[in-house]
Amino acid sequence: MMGKQLVIAALALLAAFAAGWQVNAWYSDSVELAISNAAHAAGEASRVAGEKVASESGRRLEEKLEALRDAQPTEIRTEILKPVFINECLSAEFVSMFNTAVDKAERALSGKSVNQMPDKTSAH
């Protein structure tokens, strides 16, 4: 009788060990799944943020390129494409238009406002 009880106790101990092993495997799987889901969510959030930054950067670049294109009046393009050879290199009006176009282009690239307050200097 003692041998029968010992076998039953050993089988019960073996069953408890096997059940603990299985529960540990389930727990490890659930932790791995939680980590995988968190990594996927973080990757997706990073992708969305990257797309947003790229979109904003592209939009700003398009705005600057458009501002650069609009900064140069057509008269300057015509004068450069079909130069008139005379004794003076450039007329005063052309130089004035060119300087205005350069100022507009610099403002477009730097993002500075067209109308700045007079006597206001930035204290950096």
**Rounded distance between C-alpha atoms, residue 11 and residue 71, angstroms:** 89
Q: Taking a C-beta distance cutoff of 8 angstroms, is the pair 94, 76 a contact?
A: yes
Mean of per-residue pLDDT scores for the chain: 81
pLDDT score for 124: 45
What lies within 8 Å, CB to CB, of 114 at 6+ separation is 107
Other C-beta atoms within 10 Å of 109: how many?
13
Closest CA to 68 of 124, 12, 10, 110: 110
* Percent of the chain residues past pLDDT 70, beyond the cut: 74
Mean pLDDT of 95-118: 73
Q: Taking a C-beta distance cutoff of 8 angstroms, is the pair 97, 73 a contact?
A: yes
Q: Six-digit token pair at 8?
A: 């039953």
pLDDT in tens, 29-59: 999 999 999 999 999 999 999 999 999 999 9
- Which pTM was predicted? 0.47
pLDDT in tens, 72-92: 776 665 555 555 555 556 677
